[in-house]
Structure 1
């Protein structure tokens, strides 16, 4: 027998957390997915989760609005951490573009509406295909489902004043740049050697215009190195997905106080 006085307030809280998670989570938050589809997916996920999550006794009273705000903030924060970690791919592309000479030619990302570097958008698209191939989107949905084991529905607050939480988010931000550097260092390092070689050539053969020769040479070397190290980059991307899921779990543990 379903007690609507308990189930309905809890359903609304679950629906708020899931839909706010979809607003920030990679792949599900893109413009190409209609808003009605996001709301519908969140509604049906909440319908499934209401029967599988331990539901405390919740009533609509003066504290209920605070619980709604807390659920929205939790969904946005967890989705933002996932988006922050995956942004390492576009940052790596930005490093590569700067060395290749493509930094001036940004493109509009149709998924987010923001400008992104050419190589960053290319690598990010490959990473999204790889994410779908290894069912990483299922793992992200599992993350929002199991978040109720760490952060119960009736928890009235988020410990924003906890120094462990601030330190954890800073470490996640730091790991994003470390992974971006690991992804870009083969190409950036090769182009640095090309710059040294061009500098030596410019000093030994002053008749040669290195600015005319250097740009196509660096572009060609960049594509050759990219083809050679693409498998290594995908391995780093797989580690990036693991880091993203572990970071989401660690953040939920800190918020839940476990």
Structure 2
């Protein structure tokens, strides 16, 4: 590792200390940037992700003091970056899970098809809408603030406590599923009421072809609900994302 820094110093004329600090910061930010909402999506080319990681490194480096690290210290930076990135990625998975719950509850799992990752179209719609809203709300600034804050939570070169991280990770998964159910709750409740009403009508009028009438009505009702509730659903999700970036450990 020292030989690499020496070669870079000869090629660029910059001090070895600058390269050593920049490399340590890049390891954490590179691991985290690969999982960031919006920046780390599968559709984003690897070169773009690398450029974003370098850009965030240039932004964060002036505010971080990096001591001399061993090989284990550099490895700890990668672990911290991956852990924080997975915490953020779970918020995107919450949107996708909410979309899957809505699609399954309303029998619209296959409508219009999906793009990118295999998921119902409603989940793709919510995910793309949430990411677009986050970008419009200056996600890059929130992420830069969060990256600088991460060095207060996890000093450079120190491996997090495994027990504490396991407990935190379990809580993040539980919170993601809770958020997904909250976002999908209006649609699930509406589907339950609809199916109960259809069951009562079918019992009262067995000769009526309930499915011929009910399926189009259900599809129309879900589309109307999506048009009305999607802005509210995405606003709630964005508030959770900003709250997580401000206080990732509660």
Common topology (TM > 0.5): yes
- Counterpart selection for 2:161 from 156, 159, 162: 159
Which of 22, 40, 44 is the aligned partner of 2:33?
22
Q: 1:180 to 1:141 in 2, by over 3 A?
A: same
Q: Residue 6 of structure 2 aligns with which residue?
A: none
* Deviation of 1:105 (Å): 5.7
Counterpart of 2:188? 188
Bigger mean CA deviation after superposition, 141-150 or 18-27: 141-150
Bigger drift between 183-192 and 29-38 goes to 29-38
- Cα distance in 2 between the residues matched to 1:81 and 1:216: 39
Q: Using the alignment, how far apart are the partners of 2:247 and 2:219 within structure 1? A: 35
Tell me, in whole angstroms, the C-alpha distance in 2 between the residues paired with 1:107 and 1:67. Answer: 46
Task: Pick one of 21, 45, 61 that aligns with 1:10.
Answer: 21
TM-superposed deviation, 1:180: 1.3
Q: Normalising by the residue count of structure 1, what TM-score does the alignment of the two structures yield?
A: 0.83
1:93 aligns to what?
99
Using the TM superposition, give the Cα deviation of residue 82 of structure 1 relative to its aligned residue in structure 2, in angstroms.
0.2
Look up the SS of the partner of 1:103 in the other structure.
Answer: coil
Match of 2:138 in 1: 135
**TM-score w.r.t. length of structure 2:** 0.85
- Residue by residue, what CA displacement relative to the aligned partner does 1:205-244 show, whole Å, maximum 9, x if unpaired? 1112222222211111111222232343233123321343
CA contact (8 A) 1:49 1:145 kept: yes
Q: Deviations over 1:134-185 (max 9, x none)?
A: 1123212321233122222232x2211x2x4322222221121221111111
Please say if residues 179 and 236 of structure 1, whose CA atoms lie closer than 8 Å, have aligned partners that are also in contact. no
Give 3-state SS (helix, strand or coil) of 2:63's partner.
coil
How far, CA to CA, are the matches of 1:22 and 1:39 in structure 2?
A: 8
How do 1:89-238 and structure 2 match up within 5 A? 89-104=95-110, 107-110=113-116, 114-155=117-158, 157-160=159-162, 162=163, 164-238=164-238
Task: Write the distance in 1 (CA, Å) between the matches of 2:76 and 2:112.
Answer: 37
Per the alignment, in what secondary structure is the counterpart of residue 131 of structure 2?
helix
Q: SS of the counterpart of 1:98?
A: helix
Q: Which has the higher contact order (CA 8 A, sep 6+)?
A: 1
Q: 1:74 to 1:94 in 2, by over 3 A?
A: same
Match of 1:67 among 61, 66, 73: 73
**CA 1:243–1:178 in structure 2 vs 1: closer, same or farther (change >3 Å)?**
farther
User: What RMSD over aligned residues (CA atoms) do the two structures have, in Å?
Assistant: 2.3
Unaligned runs of 5+ in 2: 1-12
